[in-house]
Structure 1
């Protein structure tokens, strides 16, 4: 079994890291380059950088911030937000990213997943999915543009399609759990993990160290992503890993 990964997430807006609850009420959490360097030193396995307003504002990801961040870290680095074409992927990778995260653009043009996988390899392509439970359907719906727009697309069907198109990884964010610190969405994550053979990164809801153990053992996630608890020093990556080791979970 592959070692489980702990991944801090930098949601960046206007050049600053921000964090909210259920995708709203954002507050400042610091400088992305400084935080990236700190997490690298603390033992993060990877880093995810999401330019959360790029798709909404219809602009490209902030290349200079990506370049500066990449220059400060040695761990793998995924960048998403505002990536709509293969040329955008190329620019981001040249700026120092190891993987590309696509969300809104992939739904608009699913062939972008295949094109990226063919050109750069599936390992480079992370399909990010923001999902919220739809009571009327009895299952999860996909949202785009930083959680603003409901798509009418069922999340499990889109996850399966993304894998078939060539995605190398799924970054799965539960909008219901996001920022609540009540725990990851185990039910959603387990449903996705059972459906695909590619790695699933669980995102949204981490509040205590035991939440990581739960999402790995019950949700079958391959990685746990968190923001609030790390940004505001509520716990360290080292503390999470020590707890997981004590419970028999293999970490790096």
Structure 2
């Protein structure tokens, strides 16, 4: 039986790990490989690593870093950043990465999703959508280039298109909730979950395990991803990588899905 996944999300900027707030003010939080080692020890369900420089700078994916991460990682790894071609996606998968994430390129050319899925398998293709609520509206727009460019595309409708194009999973990243640690946008999560049938992971806003529990209770079997929650500790946000134990995860999921 499928079960919810609790997924740390790490952002790479200038070759180090950072955490942002609403996609701004990146704060250095450590070394990517060291972080992977710690999440290995804590037996994380999965790991998402996103290079937030590559697409903005029109740069090639950092294959050396990707290879190092894949060699160290003992959990399923999803890597995104700078992927614009089928060849790049195939190379990343060949390095030992389970899933390749596409964001800006998928928005600009949804057919790329289909072509990559044909080559590496649908289960290995993740479309990441950075979204923000329209002013005075209940609708959400898709943004690219680290939240700087509003495509004016409706987030819910584009999630459907990504599914139809061959994505095996969608990651919905809330720009407004990013780094706020005040909880997920549950209204958005519920709408996206109802719109597509493929796995969905939600990112942006988790400040406690209770926030993850609320997301799972609202949306069922989904991915609950977080950055700040797993790299900061305490009111002053001291950098300390953390992750719930297997027992804590089982208890949380049991409460949320009434399995206990």
Q: CA deviation at 1:137?
A: 4.3
Contact 1:209/1:240 (8 A) holds in 2: no
Matches within 5 A, 1:99-178: 99-178=99-178
- Could you say which residue in structure 1 is the equivalent of 2:252? 244
- Could you say which residue in structure 2 is the equivalent of 1:23? 23
Q: CA deviation at 1:74?
A: 1.6
Q: CA deviation at 1:162?
A: 0.4
Aligned to 2:164, the other structure's residue is in SS state helix
Q: CA deviation at 1:219?
A: 3.3
RMSD over aligned CA atoms reads 1.7
Length-normalised TM-score, structure 2: 0.92
Contact 2:217/2:256 (8 A) holds in 1: no
Contact 1:212/1:224 (8 A) holds in 2: yes
- Could you say which residue in structure 1 is the equivalent of 2:52? 52
Q: CA deviation at 1:6?
A: 0.8
CA distance in structure 2 between the partners assigned to 1:185 and 1:221 by the alignment: 16
Aligned to 2:142, the other structure's residue is in SS state strand
Contact 2:126/2:169 (8 A) holds in 1: yes
CA distance in structure 2 between the partners assigned to 1:174 and 1:221 by the alignment: 19
CA distance in structure 1 between the partners assigned to 2:59 and 2:10 by the alignment: 18
Aligned to 1:9, the other structure's residue is in SS state strand
Length-normalised TM-score, structure 1: 0.94
Contact 1:187/1:219 (8 A) holds in 2: no
The alignment of Structure 1 onto Structure 2 pairs a total of residues equal to 251
Gaps of 5+ in 2: 235-241
Aligned to 2:219, the other structure's residue is in SS state coil
1:173-195 alpha-carbon deviations (Å, 9 max, x no partner): 11111110000111111100000
Aligned to 1:237, the other structure's residue is in SS state coil
Q: CA deviation at 1:237?
A: 2.5
Q: Does 1:90 align with 2:97?
A: no
1:202-242 alpha-carbon deviations (Å, 9 max, x no partner): 10000011001100111345110011111124552227515
- Could you say which residue in structure 2 is the equivalent of 1:8? 8
CA distance in structure 1 between the partners assigned to 2:182 and 2:253 by the alignment: 22
CA distance in structure 1 between the partners assigned to 2:88 and 2:233 by the alignment: 34
